[in-house]
Amino acid sequence: MKIVQVSNFPPSLLGGMEAVVYNLSKELGARGHEVNVITSTLSSKTEQVCHDDFRIFYIPSIRLNNRMIFPRDLDIIRRIIRECEIVHLHSPDVSFALELGLSLIHI
């Protein structure tokens, strides 16, 4: 199965949600699923990193009200999500989930 997990912050940060994303991605990948994680970076360019049994896509973002949003490079997010069967949002931020959902309407 092709699975995408979306998290505001990368699995490398120490936190509960980040640990869940990392462990779930690792276990799903070890069971043969194709797992991609979409997360944020303050860098100006998109980066893809293979990590254990899954890939992490770091998408350029800006900080707004002490949280991350993805205002740039929505095309790569659309491409990754278009190729998957399941999207798992790990975001307590409803506006982020809404922004991501609205960005996919024109697929």
Q: Specify the length of the chain in residues.
A: 107
The number of CA neighbours under 13 Å toward the Cβ of 56 is: 19
**Helices 94-103 & 74-82, crossing angle to 10 degrees?**
80
More confident position, 59 or 70: 59
Mean of the per-residue pLDDT values for the chain? 80
DSSP labels, 82-98: HT-SEEEEE-S-HHHHH
How large a percentage of the chain has pLDDT more than 90? 28
pLDDT in tens, 28-67: 999 999 999 988 887 888 888 998 799 999 888 876 766 6
**Burial 56-95, CB ≥16 within 10 A → b, else e:** bbbbbbeeeeeebbbeeebebbeebbeebeeebbbbeeee
pLDDT in tens, 72-93: 677 788 888 888 899 888 876 6
